[in-house]
Amino acid sequence: MPLALAALVRVATVAVLTFLAAATATVVPERAIAGGSLIPTVVPSSYGRQDEAGSVGPALAGDHVIWARTARHGYDVVTQAIDGSTARHDRISAPTDGERAMSLTASPRRFALSIGIMRATVPSCKACTYITAYDALFTARVGTPPQLVHRCTEAKGCGPRCARTDTDVSEDVVIDSRCLETLTLRDYGTGATPPVKRYDACGGKLAGNVLAMNVPGRCEPTAETVVDNWRTGTRMYALKPPVGGFDVQADGKLAFPEFVSSSKTGVDWASPAEPFPHRIATIPYWSGTVFRFTNDLIAYAEPTFNPQGPTLGAIFEVRRLDGSIVAHTSDAGSPPRFDFDGRRLVWVTRPCELGAFVVWNLQGEPPAMPSGQCPAPHVAQRSVRIGDDRRLHFKLNCPREPALGCEGFISARAKRARHPHRLAYLASGYFKFPPGGVRQKALEIDHSLKVCASRHGLVRLRITARSYGRRGSSSPAKSSVASVWLRERTIHRVVCK
């Protein structure tokens, strides 16, 4: 009986400890600590470059994040649930070659996407006149396929060098700016065929019944920034001189960056009760500064420049109207592109090959990708061979941890026959694949190159896979090296001493 009792006590103790461990593990989930969600997604390699124009967004749409990126033969519109549960992909068939101008905005109900393509009148001529070759506006309820509103596909129909570069959405109302001189408002809340209003204005922002815009139409010069009730036609107030990069609230308050000097920008706001600028902060000047303004909170982003090359990082801030800071963070893997709905900031980060949506609720620290340098893939030595196609074949394995993915440059070198103390490039290429992935590579070989061989006719290849450095990090990039002996007659080889 005592033995049975002792066994029962041990079983009960283990059960209690297991329950306590499970309870402890679920009291503070990982996402609660992080202050938001981190949702992996496919991000173009060019994302974050100063000249990047292959994607647009992200935009917050209630419990979803939307963004669009170039894909094969068109564009991929991604609607991702913030909890990471579902992702919807809608394909738009449209041209991608040319100088792109894209805009994406969303409300909890609806999103709008504009795509403009401009091309030179003479191909490959940067100094030539540009014409609009494609111009389209799409909109739809969140979670449904984008519907075409307008499209032109010829230079004669599209007009001069201009495109729909401005859109905004509030509830079921969409505005877009044609050639930055005619603003069109469509109210989809009234039915399938929306009433249309047109304004002689240069861009605008929308919130509820309030429409802010620069008038008259031609952007240079404009006379003033006006804030109107678009339903009644009542003018609430106007600002002179006009401002840019602004955003408006449903109560008519306007937030905008104001030029101070070549190095400084003012963070200003105005209201119907006090229709003049109120300076609450001064931030470093950047020509692309835009504000998001809701719930009396002003959000903006400042660029940071990464040491590796032409990529941008970002500093994100949210301030109250008295100038106090509500939230501040930085991300070297994200350019200064974001959205803000009054409760959450969203941006797309890509420190290495793998990218992710970052949705931050302004509490604690924002969720972040794993730390450390971008990993280098491992070269499977036994897979190295020269195939019947006379190309160099081998297999690469990307580590699962850290979950950052592998992207970089790979090369196969051998001793040059004329200069045995030097390694010459026999083959080279690029790699890009997710964490835990396996890739079969086939590289073209320079068969005209003479390399050293042993007296037994073996050629020693040094295969180096070097990952790109983590964005924003000055630490050396990681690399892996494999040394392989090959007996291959198709390689020009000379016995070296």
- Tokens (6 digits) for 67: 């963004």
Distance CA 367, CA 362 (A): 10
Cβ 370 vs Cβ 402: under 8 Å: yes
The model's confidence at residue 8, banded by pLDDT at 50, 70 and 90, is very low
Question: Is residue 59 over pLDDT 70?
Answer: yes
Question: Is residue 245 over pLDDT 70?
Answer: yes
What is the structure's pLDDT at 164? Answer: 57
Q: Which of 17-31, 35-49, 60-74, 409-423 has the lowest mean pLDDT?
A: 17-31
Same domain, 300 and 158: yes
Higher pLDDT, 281 or 131: 281
Residues 346-368 have a mean pLDDT of 91
Same domain, 79 and 143: yes
Q: Is residue 273 part of a domain?
A: no
The model's confidence at residue 88, banded by pLDDT at 50, 70 and 90, is very high
Same domain, 319 and 403: no
What is the structure's pLDDT at 43? Answer: 79
Cβ 386 vs Cβ 445: under 8 Å: yes
Question: Is residue 17 over pLDDT 50?
Answer: no
Q: Is residue 194 part of a domain?
A: no
- CATH, residue 488: 2.60.40
Q: Is residue 150 part of a domain?
A: yes
Residues 284-308 have a mean pLDDT of 85
Closest CA to 102 of 177, 174, 180, 164: 164
What is the structure's pLDDT at 6? Answer: 43
Same domain, 335 and 407: no
Same domain, 156 and 302: yes
Q: Is residue 171 part of a domain?
A: no
The model's confidence at residue 398, banded by pLDDT at 50, 70 and 90, is very high
The model's confidence at residue 124, banded by pLDDT at 50, 70 and 90, is low
What is the structure's pLDDT at 182? Answer: 82
Q: Is residue 53 part of a domain?
A: yes
* Residue 416 lies in domain: 378-495
Q: Is residue 313 part of a domain?
A: yes
What is the structure's pLDDT at 474? Answer: 75
Residues 433-443 have a mean pLDDT of 92
Same domain, 355 and 394: no
Residues 107-115 have a mean pLDDT of 94
What is the structure's pLDDT at 458? Answer: 80
Report the mean per-residue pLDDT for the chain. Answer: 82
Residues 390-419 have a mean pLDDT of 88
Query: What pairing do the DSSP bridges indicate for beta strands 451-453 and 493-495?
Result: parallel
Higher pLDDT, 233 or 13: 233
Per-residue pLDDT tens for 453-474?
777 778 888 899 999 888 877 7
- Report the alpha-carbon angle 70-470-101, nearest 5: 25
The model's confidence at residue 417, banded by pLDDT at 50, 70 and 90, is low
What is the structure's pLDDT at 492? Answer: 63
Return phi, psi of residue 5, to 5°.
Answer: -65, -40
Q: Which of 163-177, 359-373, 420-434, 442-456 has the lowest mean pLDDT?
A: 442-456
What is the structure's pLDDT at 414? Answer: 83
Q: Is residue 176 part of a domain?
A: no
Domain count, the chain: 2
Per-residue pLDDT tens for 141-154?
999 999 999 888 77
The model's confidence at residue 157, banded by pLDDT at 50, 70 and 90, is low
Same domain, 59 and 132: yes
The model's confidence at residue 376, banded by pLDDT at 50, 70 and 90, is very high
What is the structure's pLDDT at 262? Answer: 85
User: Considering the entire predicted model, what is its pTM?
Assistant: 0.82
Same domain, 40 and 159: yes
Per-residue pLDDT tens for 269-285?
999 999 999 999 999 88
Q: Which of 5-14, 20-29, 268-277 has the lowest mean pLDDT?
A: 20-29
Count of all residues that appear for the chain in the document: 497
- Among residues 308, 333, 360, which one ends one of the domains? 360
Residues 357-371 have a mean pLDDT of 91
Question: Is residue 162 over pLDDT 80?
Answer: no
Same domain, 470 and 436: yes
Per-residue pLDDT tens for 191-207?
667 788 988 888 899 99
Q: Which of 91-105, 147-161, 193-207, 307-321 has the lowest mean pLDDT?
A: 147-161
Q: Is residue 39 part of a domain?
A: yes
What is the structure's pLDDT at 16? Answer: 36
Q: What percent of the chain has pLDDT over 70?
A: 81
Cα→Cα distances 187→122, 176, 211, 376, Å: 40, 12, 13, 52
Residues 229-246 have a mean pLDDT of 92
Same domain, 153 and 302: yes
Same domain, 310 and 407: no
- Tokens (6 digits) for 61: 């749409």
Question: Is residue 404 over pLDDT 80?
Answer: yes
The model's confidence at residue 228, banded by pLDDT at 50, 70 and 90, is very high
Same domain, 153 and 41: yes
